[in-house]
């Protein structure tokens, strides 16, 4: 007999919040995911139940973040690269241009005070604008950023696919 499924951890919830904040996941993905968890657990967490009925993005973020920052408190690691990984997915899907990716990545990195300085993205954006959005510059920059974020892109893409296809696995990580 297999072990009963587990509720999502705070690490999973933190990634979920980042994906929603980056615009990578919408209610069209996270509601079926939450419904799947509810169907599998005898006693689903209250935050999952609330998320399963929440379409409004700011409310969904509040629901998930309230859980992440509730007692017992846990240290949350710097998540800048994970946010950027989710933003990268949006770029790959063609939802944002390269210039918009660089601008949003710079804004998030500046506010997060994370592992990647905002100037990294802003200097690329300046170079791209000065070159009048030359495709060669964009390709070079894209390859550089993709290499720098490669681990986060792999991690966030796997997480995104897990949520999108509503395949919840024990531990979910």
User: Average pLDDT in the 152-173 region?
Assistant: 77
Task: Mark whether 50 and 114 lie in a shared domain.
Answer: no
Number of helical H runs and strand E runs in the chain: 9, 0
Query: pLDDT tens digits for 97-148?
Result: 999 999 999 999 998 877 789 999 999 999 999 999 999 999 999 999 999 9
Domain that holds residue 40: 10-76+160-164
How many independent structural domains does the chain possess? 2
Query: Tokens 């696995």 sit at which residue?
Result: 169
User: Average pLDDT in the 6-30 region?
Assistant: 93
User: Average pLDDT in the 15-22 region?
Assistant: 96
pLDDT of 77 strictly over 90? no
Task: Mark whether 69 and 85 lie in a shared domain.
Answer: no
pLDDT on residue 3: 45
Q: Which of 92, 67, 70 is nearest to 146 (CA)?
A: 92
Neighbours of 5 (CB within 10 A): 18
């Amino acid at each position: 007999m297999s072990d009963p499924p587990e509720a999502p951890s705070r690490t999973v919830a933190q990634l979920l919040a980042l994906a929603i904040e980056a615009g990578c996941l919408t209610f069209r993905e996270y509601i079926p995911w939450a419904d799947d968890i509810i169907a599998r657990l005898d006693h689903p967490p209250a935050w999952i139940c609330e998320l399963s009925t929440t379409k409004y993005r700011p409310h969904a973020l509040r629901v998930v973040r309230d859980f992440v920052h509730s007692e017992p408190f846990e240290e949350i690691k710097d998540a800048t690269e994970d946010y950027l990984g989710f933003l990268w997915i949006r770029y790959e899907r063609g939802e944002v241009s390269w210039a918009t990716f660089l601008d949003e990545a710079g804004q998030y990195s500046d506010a997060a005070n994370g592992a990647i300085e905002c100037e990294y993205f802003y200097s690329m954006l300046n170079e791209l604008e000065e070159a009048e959005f030359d495709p060669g510059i964009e390709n070079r920059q894209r390859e550089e950023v993709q290499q720098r974020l490669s681990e986060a892109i792999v991690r966030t893409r796997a997480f995104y696919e897990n949520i999108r296809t509503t395949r919840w696995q024990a531990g979910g990580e």
